[in-house]
Structure 1
Amino acid sequence: METDVFTADEIEIALELIHAVLDKPDQKDYLIRVYDDGEVRGYYCIGPTPATTSTYDLYWIATKPSVHGKGIGRLLNAHAEELIRSRGGSLVIAETSSTPRYDKTRAFYVKAGYEEVACIRDYYRAGDSLVVYGKYL
Structure 2
Amino acid sequence: MPERISPALDQPGAAGREFTEFFCASPVCSPARASLPTGRMPSAHGVHYWIRGESDAGSTRGVHYLKPFSFTPELLPASGYSYAHSGKWQLGDAREAAPGFNRWFSHLSGGAPTTVRQSLTMANCAPNLVTSVTP
TM-score (norm 2): 0.31
Q: Which has the higher strand share?
A: 1
